Structures are given as structure tokens and as C-alpha cells.
Amino acid sequence: MKLPEKKEQDGSVRASVHAELRLRFLTGRITPGTHLSTRRLAHELGVSQMPVRDALGRLAADGAVDIRSKRRIIVPPMTAARHADLLVCRELLEPAAAQAAIARLDDVAIQRLEVVDKAIGDALDSGDVDAYMRANHEFHFTIYRAQPHPTLVQLIETLWLQFGPYMRIVYDRYDGERLADQHVCAIRAIRRRRAADLSRAILLDIRDGMNLLQRNGFAVDPS
């Protein structure tokens, strides 16, 4: 994706570069084992290296990248301890965000969730990992962003930045295993205004995905 041409002095360039790279991590488009090049990313985005370096510095502060030198920027390896830490934090934050959102998810939002969940199923059936990652992210954050606490969304996004690249590996290796569709359960809970049921569906969905990651995603070590 090449960003619209703007003056480098414009703060919106830095913001746009950061938003684009952040989205790539959230949806797994930047994968573990990749050595990130500021020059290559700048060329892809049509900007100088300065806003790219700035964005990567911010992503490093969020734990998404490890800057070991100017030419050695990597996705940190996943370990059992890091996985356990991320899982605990997700289990604390995401079900709470869903519960806080339920009263604000109207019929339009529910219809959107149904469309996105169908897209997730289609992507799994066709093996389109990019489409799956984008749609799965959209499903969860359609719910989370409906709740009234923007800081909570930011905290959840920080967690997704750290495991998103590894989930991409998991679904690249997806072998057709069918899990209970917790997204369908979540939509049903929203329709019925059952906050506890929604919280449980999100919790179980988190555990399903993180268990797949634990079984399949630790193999890549970019160090």
C-alpha cells in the first residue's frame, strides 16, 4: 500500500505510516522471521525513511518489534512465557470490553458482524489467510470499539500487535480443524442482550486461537 502523497513535514504522514504498519502487525501481514528494512518499507509506502523509523520506534515501545540495530529490526520470538502472559491479559481485557459494548451494538452492528463472520468462514474454506486475518480483526474490534473506553481498545490492540504475526503462521498451517464457532455464539448473545454469554464466547474464542498458537506457532524464531 502506497500512502497518499503529502509533505514530509505534515504530522499526518507520520500518523498514516504508523497506522499502516500497525495494521500490518494486527492482521499478521508482517510475519515472524522477517528482518524489517526501513528502506524497503519507505519505498512501499512512498515516504522517506524518517516516518518509518518513527513508526517502528513506537511499535517497539508496544512490544511488536525488537530494534537490535539500524539494520536489524525483527518480530520478537514467541516463547511459552510470553504466550502465557499475552493469554492472561487477553482473558482479562477482551471479555470485559465485549461486556461493556453489548448495549451499544445495534442491529446494524449485528448485521455487520454476521457478514464479517461469513467472510471468515469463506476465507478458511478457501485458504485465504490474508482475508481471514483482516476479517477476524474486524469482527473483534467491531465489538471492542463499540464500548466507551478508548484506552481499553488501545490496550487490547497492543496485545494483538504482539501475537498477530504468529497467528498468521498458525492459519498458514491450518489443517482444517473445526472448532466451535464462538463468533456465532457471540452474535447470538448480542441479539439476546446476554452480556455474560457474550463474555464467555469471547473468552472461549481467545482460548481456541491461543491454543492453536501454542501448538503450532512457536517454531519460528527470528533471532
Give me the CATH number covering residue 131: 1.20.120.530
Element (H, E) at 199: helix 195-216
**How far apart are the C-alpha atoms of 132 and 107, rounded to whole Å?**
24
Shared domain for 59 and 150, answered yes or no, is: no
Query: Between 170 and 154, where is the model more confident?
Result: 154
**How far apart are the C-alpha atoms of 188 and 183, rounded to whole Å?**
9
How much is the pLDDT for 11? 77
Q: Please state, for a pLDDT cut of 70, what percent of the chain lies above it.
A: 88
How much is the pLDDT for 107? 97
Which whole number is the average pLDDT over 182-200? 97
Shared domain for 121 and 212, answered yes or no, is: yes
Beta pairing partners, 67: 73
- Print the domain residue range for 194: 80-216
Q: Please state, for a pLDDT cut of 90, what percent of the chain lies above it.
A: 66
Q: Is 173 a domain residue? A: yes
Q: Which three cell numbers stand for residue 172?
A: 498458514
What's the start-to-end Cα distance of the chain, in Å? 27
Phi, psi of 219 (to 5 degrees): -65, -35
Pair 162, 22: CB distance under 8 Å: no
Neighbours of 54 (CB within 10 A): 16
How much is the pLDDT for 72? 81
How much is the pLDDT for 56? 95
Give me the CATH number covering residue 25: 1.10.10.10
How much is the pLDDT for 223? 47
How much is the pLDDT for 124? 86
State how many domains the chain has. Answer: 2
Query: Cα 90 to chain center, whole Å?
Result: 12
Question: What's at 62, amino acid-wise?
Answer: D
Taking only the tens place, the pLDDT of each residue in 92-124 is 999 999 999 999 999 999 999 999 999 999 998
Shared domain for 60 and 150, answered yes or no, is: no
Shared domain for 56 and 160, answered yes or no, is: no
Pair 93, 159: CB distance under 8 Å: yes
**How far apart are the C-alpha atoms of 157 and 152, rounded to whole Å?**
9
Shared domain for 143 and 209, answered yes or no, is: yes
Shared domain for 199 and 182, answered yes or no, is: yes
Pair 56, 179: CB distance under 8 Å: no
Beta strands in 70-155 (DSSP E): 72-74
Q: Which three cell numbers stand for residue 148?
A: 466507551
Alpha carbons within 13 A on the beta-carbon side of 148: 3
Q: Is 202 a domain residue? A: yes
Looking at 74, 94, 113, the residue that finishes a domain is 74
Query: Between 41 and 32, where is the model more confident?
Result: 41
Shared domain for 65 and 164, answered yes or no, is: no
Shared domain for 16 and 88, answered yes or no, is: no
Q: Which three cell numbers stand for residue 150?
A: 478508548
Q: Is 2 a domain residue? A: no
Shared domain for 68 and 88, answered yes or no, is: no
Q: Which three cell numbers stand for residue 127?
A: 485458504
Shared domain for 61 and 85, answered yes or no, is: no
C-alpha distance from residue 106 to each of 63, 96, 99, 112 (Å): 34, 18, 14, 10
Shared domain for 53 and 93, answered yes or no, is: no
pTM: 0.87
Q: Is 4 a domain residue? A: no
Looking at 59, 74, 89, the residue that finishes a domain is 74
* Nearest Cα to Cα of residue 20 among 6, 3, 8: 3
Shared domain for 130 and 210, answered yes or no, is: yes
* Nearest Cα to Cα of residue 138 among 2, 9, 12, 27: 27
Looking at 26, 51, 74, the residue that finishes a domain is 74
